[in-house]
Structure 1
């Protein structure tokens, strides 16, 4: 068996020769990076499968050694990228899970906050409460509220601003 420098025409016999000549070297490179025998074998096999599937495209390869070492290195990098991506998704899932565990606490805090808001609204002047409810609870625009309540747009803005000031103060005390 002579030294293989290029791929030329990749027949089954030539492929078998390349496989025999490079398998141990590629496995050694993969194992040294991965420290996992089964994974190193799988990655080497993937490189050879890709070589066989793309045999028509690799006819121009002049340095078989460099080509295969680059292919194995790229497969190793792809593996590390995949592992890093899985770790990131796993970490994000853990964070989402811990957030879900706190959903009950969030609901309790939300309900208590709404109770504070509703109590504070009852203390406000009737027009201010009505304008605020139309704006924030029913999602009416300022113009729609002005038309509905027979107030000017400036008066609607004033009532909303006054309600927001009082609520911010009360909620700041509640949250602290």
Structure 2
């Protein structure tokens, strides 16, 4: 497969769409660094930039059969990065606005209509991301964070190990953290206050 290095992008994409894993590796090696540097420049955060680029490549592999290139592969990947970053920034803004308004409420003791709207918008955003989790993970996460069952209780109810419960909750928080662009602590805080 040494010849893949000399192939143009459009031929690599054709191979990728037919399930050729070596073509995926070549695209990954060809574009990972430039996409990472681009993401880091916008996000100003190395870990977040890395997460976004990993997400783009995971999505590229999982949805390989559906890829439609309207122009070049590089512009397709750059657009995907920008879309994901702007989506993440938008999520962060919704959360940040809510936390600011909550601080205001704690200080002044009154909620106005705009704050209630923000709270509703944020609750919908978090719920949407929870519903997008894989079904088993979502079920475990909801039992833990919405019904407040212990890992032991969930393990007994679903007849699985406590270790599985713990790792599924941890994975759910990691996914939500990435999608919503905030820390796991902030997500747990918001789940308990919305």
Match of 2:77 in 1: 68
Output the CA distance in 2 between the equivalents of 1:25 and 1:78: 20
Q: Which runs of 5+ in 2 are unaligned?
A: 111-194
2:60 to 44, 51, 66: 51
Larger radius of gyration: 1
Output the CA distance in 2 between the equivalents of 1:68 and 1:92: 36
Question: Is residue 68 of structure 2 the alignment partner of residue 83 of structure 1?
Answer: no
Q: CA deviation at 1:34?
A: 1.2
Q: Which runs of 5+ in 1 are unaligned?
A: 102-176
Match of 1:5 in 2: 9
2:45 to 27, 36, 45: 36
Q: Deviations over 1:64-89 (max 9, x none)?
A: 11100101111111121121111111
CA RMSD of aligned residues (A): 1.7
Q: 1:37 to 1:68 in 2, by over 3 A?
A: same
Output the CA distance in 1 between the equivalents of 2:45 and 2:36: 10
Match of 2:25 in 1: 16
Output the CA distance in 1 between the equivalents of 2:6 and 2:37: 21
TM-score with structure 2 length normalisation?
0.48
User: Any idea what SS the aligned residue of 2:14 has?
Assistant: coil
Match of 1:174 in 2: none
Q: 1:45 to 1:4 in 2, by over 3 A?
A: farther
Relative contact order, higher structure (CA 8 A, sep 6+)? 1
Report if the CA contact (8 A) 1:30-1:43 is conserved: yes
Q: Deviations over 1:104-155 (max 9, x none)?
A: xxxxxxxxxxxxxxxxxxxxxxxxxxxxxxxxxxxxxxxxxxxxxxxxxxxx
> How many residues end up aligned between the 2 structures?
100
Match of 1:97 in 2: 106
